[in-house]
Structure 1
Amino acid sequence: MARINNSRKALFQTPGSVSTDEHSIVLANSLLSKLDIAEKALANVHAENEHNIAVKEAHKERMDKLRLLLNEIEEDNWKYESVSKLIGI
Protein backbone atom coordinates (compact mmCIF):
# COMPACT_ATOMS: atom_id res chain seq x y z
CA MET A 1 0.00 0.00 0.00
CA ALA A 2 2.88 2.38 0.76
CA ARG A 3 4.24 1.85 -2.74
CA ILE A 4 0.91 2.85 -4.26
CA ASN A 5 0.79 6.07 -2.21
CA ASN A 6 4.33 6.97 -3.30
CA SER A 7 3.40 6.34 -6.93
CA ARG A 8 0.32 8.44 -6.58
CA LYS A 9 2.33 11.31 -5.07
CA ALA A 10 4.83 11.14 -7.88
CA LEU A 11 2.02 10.98 -10.41
CA PHE A 12 0.33 14.16 -9.23
CA GLN A 13 3.40 16.33 -8.72
CA THR A 14 4.24 18.95 -11.29
CA PRO A 15 7.20 18.12 -13.47
CA GLY A 16 10.44 19.49 -12.11
CA SER A 17 9.02 20.43 -8.72
CA VAL A 18 11.74 18.52 -6.91
CA SER A 19 14.47 20.09 -8.99
CA THR A 20 12.86 23.52 -8.48
CA ASP A 21 13.04 23.02 -4.72
CA GLU A 22 16.65 21.88 -5.00
CA HIS A 23 17.39 24.82 -7.27
CA SER A 24 15.81 27.17 -4.72
CA ILE A 25 17.97 25.71 -1.97
CA VAL A 26 21.11 26.03 -4.09
CA LEU A 27 20.16 29.59 -5.03
CA ALA A 28 19.45 30.49 -1.40
CA ASN A 29 22.79 29.03 -0.30
CA SER A 30 24.55 30.92 -3.07
CA LEU A 31 22.89 34.18 -2.06
CA LEU A 32 23.75 33.59 1.60
CA SER A 33 27.34 32.90 0.62
CA LYS A 34 27.50 36.11 -1.42
CA LEU A 35 25.90 38.03 1.45
CA ASP A 36 28.51 36.63 3.83
CA ILE A 37 31.29 37.69 1.45
CA ALA A 38 29.76 41.17 1.14
CA GLU A 39 29.47 41.50 4.92
CA LYS A 40 33.11 40.48 5.37
CA ALA A 41 34.20 42.97 2.70
CA LEU A 42 32.18 45.71 4.38
CA ALA A 43 33.72 44.83 7.75
CA ASN A 44 37.20 45.03 6.18
CA VAL A 45 36.43 48.45 4.69
CA HIS A 46 35.10 49.64 8.04
CA ALA A 47 38.19 48.36 9.85
CA GLU A 48 40.49 50.06 7.32
CA ASN A 49 38.61 53.34 7.74
CA GLU A 50 38.84 53.12 11.53
CA HIS A 51 42.56 52.35 11.27
CA ASN A 52 43.14 55.32 8.95
CA ILE A 53 41.26 57.61 11.32
CA ALA A 54 43.32 56.37 14.28
CA VAL A 55 46.58 56.87 12.35
CA LYS A 56 45.59 60.42 11.39
CA GLU A 57 44.63 61.26 14.98
CA ALA A 58 47.92 59.87 16.32
CA HIS A 59 49.85 61.88 13.70
CA LYS A 60 47.96 65.05 14.63
CA GLU A 61 48.73 64.49 18.33
CA ARG A 62 52.44 64.02 17.57
CA MET A 63 52.50 67.20 15.46
CA ASP A 64 50.74 69.14 18.22
CA LYS A 65 53.29 67.91 20.80
CA LEU A 66 56.17 68.83 18.50
CA ARG A 67 54.65 72.27 17.91
CA LEU A 68 54.44 72.86 21.67
CA LEU A 69 58.02 71.68 22.13
CA LEU A 70 59.21 73.98 19.34
CA ASN A 71 57.41 76.91 20.94
CA GLU A 72 59.08 76.14 24.28
CA ILE A 73 62.49 75.95 22.60
CA GLU A 74 61.91 79.28 20.85
CA GLU A 75 60.90 80.88 24.16
CA ASP A 76 64.01 79.54 25.93
CA ASN A 77 66.39 80.16 23.04
CA TRP A 78 67.59 83.53 24.39
CA LYS A 79 68.96 81.85 27.53
CA TYR A 80 71.65 79.92 25.67
CA GLU A 81 74.47 80.84 23.35
CA SER A 82 74.16 79.60 19.80
CA VAL A 83 76.04 76.48 18.80
CA SER A 84 77.98 78.34 16.12
CA LYS A 85 79.35 80.76 18.78
CA LEU A 86 80.27 77.88 21.05
CA ILE A 87 82.30 76.09 18.38
CA GLY A 88 83.81 79.33 17.10
CA ILE A 89 82.24 79.67 13.69
Structure 2
Amino acid sequence: MDSRASHQEAPPDPPTPNTPLVDTSRNDRVGEFRGVAGLYWSLCPVGGGREWEVEPRHVRPALPMEQIRARTARANARSRGEVL
Protein backbone atom coordinates (compact mmCIF):
# COMPACT_ATOMS: atom_id res chain seq x y z
CA MET A 1 0.00 0.00 0.00
CA ASP A 2 1.27 3.45 -0.91
CA SER A 3 1.62 5.52 2.27
CA ARG A 4 1.10 8.76 0.31
CA ALA A 5 -2.36 7.66 -0.83
CA SER A 6 -3.57 7.19 2.74
CA HIS A 7 -2.62 10.80 3.60
CA GLN A 8 -4.37 12.44 0.64
CA GLU A 9 -7.72 14.06 1.26
CA ALA A 10 -10.69 13.13 -0.87
CA PRO A 11 -11.88 15.96 -3.09
CA PRO A 12 -14.79 17.92 -1.62
CA ASP A 13 -18.28 17.36 -2.94
CA PRO A 14 -19.04 19.85 -5.69
CA PRO A 15 -21.55 22.59 -4.88
CA THR A 16 -24.79 23.10 -6.73
CA PRO A 17 -24.56 24.93 -10.08
CA ASN A 18 -24.41 28.75 -9.91
CA THR A 19 -23.01 28.74 -6.35
CA PRO A 20 -20.76 31.81 -5.95
CA LEU A 21 -17.18 30.78 -5.15
CA VAL A 22 -13.81 32.49 -4.76
CA ASP A 23 -10.77 31.19 -6.63
CA THR A 24 -7.89 31.87 -4.23
CA SER A 25 -5.32 30.89 -6.88
CA ARG A 26 -6.42 33.83 -9.08
CA ASN A 27 -6.32 36.80 -6.73
CA ASP A 28 -9.66 35.92 -5.09
CA ARG A 29 -11.57 36.03 -8.38
CA VAL A 30 -15.29 35.40 -7.88
CA GLY A 31 -17.08 32.96 -10.15
CA GLU A 32 -20.15 30.78 -10.25
CA PHE A 33 -19.77 27.00 -10.16
CA ARG A 34 -20.61 25.37 -13.51
CA GLY A 35 -19.51 21.77 -13.15
CA VAL A 36 -16.75 19.24 -12.74
CA ALA A 37 -14.09 18.72 -15.42
CA GLY A 38 -11.98 15.75 -14.34
CA LEU A 39 -10.01 16.83 -11.28
CA TYR A 40 -11.00 20.48 -11.72
CA TRP A 41 -14.08 22.60 -11.13
CA SER A 42 -15.33 24.93 -13.85
CA LEU A 43 -16.19 28.46 -12.79
CA CYS A 44 -17.72 31.27 -14.82
CA PRO A 45 -17.57 35.01 -14.07
CA VAL A 46 -20.67 36.39 -12.37
CA GLY A 47 -23.11 37.41 -15.09
CA GLY A 48 -21.39 35.35 -17.80
CA GLY A 49 -18.11 35.23 -19.62
CA ARG A 50 -15.33 32.79 -20.32
CA GLU A 51 -15.14 29.81 -17.96
CA TRP A 52 -11.96 28.75 -16.25
CA GLU A 53 -10.90 25.67 -14.33
CA VAL A 54 -9.53 25.51 -10.82
CA GLU A 55 -8.48 22.81 -8.40
CA PRO A 56 -11.14 22.43 -5.68
CA ARG A 57 -8.50 23.03 -2.99
CA HIS A 58 -8.19 26.64 -4.23
CA VAL A 59 -11.91 27.38 -3.89
CA ARG A 60 -13.96 28.71 -1.01
CA PRO A 61 -17.51 30.05 -0.70
CA ALA A 62 -17.87 33.71 -1.64
CA LEU A 63 -18.82 36.08 1.15
CA PRO A 64 -21.92 38.24 0.58
CA MET A 65 -19.75 41.35 0.09
CA GLU A 66 -17.62 39.55 -2.50
CA GLN A 67 -20.75 38.53 -4.38
CA ILE A 68 -22.05 42.11 -4.38
CA ARG A 69 -18.67 43.45 -5.51
CA ALA A 70 -18.55 40.99 -8.43
CA ARG A 71 -22.10 41.82 -9.54
CA THR A 72 -21.43 45.55 -9.28
CA ALA A 73 -18.21 45.28 -11.29
CA ARG A 74 -20.08 43.37 -14.01
CA ALA A 75 -22.92 45.95 -14.09
CA ASN A 76 -20.43 48.83 -14.30
CA ALA A 77 -18.52 47.16 -17.15
CA ARG A 78 -21.79 46.60 -18.96
CA SER A 79 -22.84 50.25 -18.55
CA ARG A 80 -19.48 51.30 -20.07
CA GLY A 81 -20.09 48.97 -23.04
CA GLU A 82 -17.18 46.69 -22.17
CA VAL A 83 -19.38 43.58 -21.97
CA LEU A 84 -22.82 42.67 -23.22
When normalised by structure 1's length, the TM-score is 0.25
When normalised by structure 2's length, the TM-score is 0.26
More helix by share: 1
